[in-house]
Structure 1
C-alpha cells in the first residue's frame, strides 16, 4: 500500500483488495487463538515450569519438586501433562531424560506413579526437545493432592507441568 501511495500520490488510486484480505485473515487467526487459549486456560488446576536439574552435580541425589494440586471435581477424569523443556538455555536435547512422576491423594493413595524415559525428538520449526507425556487420572476427593516430580537426569533445565480438569470453568486466564 505504501508503494502504491508513494508512486501515485493519492489514496484514491490505491488497490485496497489485497491489504484488506490480509487484515481480515490476520484478524480471524487472532480471534481463533483467543477462543482456543481461554478454553484450555480455564480448565487448568496447575501449570508451572518446574526447576529441573541444571547445575546438580553428577552423583548427587536427584532433585524432587513437589506441588499441591487442588482438586475441585472428584470422580471426573483429569489429565496430567509432563514435558521436559530447555527453558531459556538455547540448547538442544542430546539424550534421553529420566524422570519419576507421582501423584498422591490426601489419604495417601497413589493415583499416578510412573518412571519415565523421554527420548529427544526433533520438530521442524522448534529444533530438538524431548517427548511429552500425558496421563489420565480420576481423583476421589475434593482436596489438595501432592504432585512430585523427580528429575533423575542431570542438566535438564526445566519441566513443564500441567494438570487440567475438564469440568473446571473458572481457571486463570493466561
Structure 2
C-alpha cells in the first residue's frame, strides 16, 4: 500500500504542472503532497505487520540503525568523536563540515535541475505526439518507475 500511495503521489506531483499554473499554487500543492505522503508512510503497516514508523521497542530500532551505519568510535555517541575534533582542531572540523554542506547542496541542486530537464524533455515528447496534458503522462511514467523500483528493492531484501 505504501509503495502504491507513494508512487501515486510522485506522479501527482509531476502532473501538478498541467493543472496549477501559479508557482505559489504549485508550491502549496507540492507541500500538501509531501505531507500526505509522509502521513501515509507513517500510518501504514510495516512488513512485520506493525503500524507506524517505529515498532513497539525503540531500543531495537536504535540498535539496528547503529549496526547499519557502524559505531563511529569505541563508545557510540558524541563522546566517541571528541578525540578526532581535538586531533584536527575545531577550524578544520568546521571547514570539513562546511565543505560537506556545500557539496551536498550543489549535488542536490544539480540533481533537481537534471530531473526537471528530463521531465521537460519527456513532457515535450508527449506534447509532440498530441497529448493535451503532457505532464500527466510524464507523471504516470514517473509513478510506474518508482513503483517498479520499490518492488525490485523489496524482492532483493
Normalised by the shorter chain, which TM-score bucket? under 0.3
Scaled by the length of structure 1, the TM-score of the pair is: 0.24
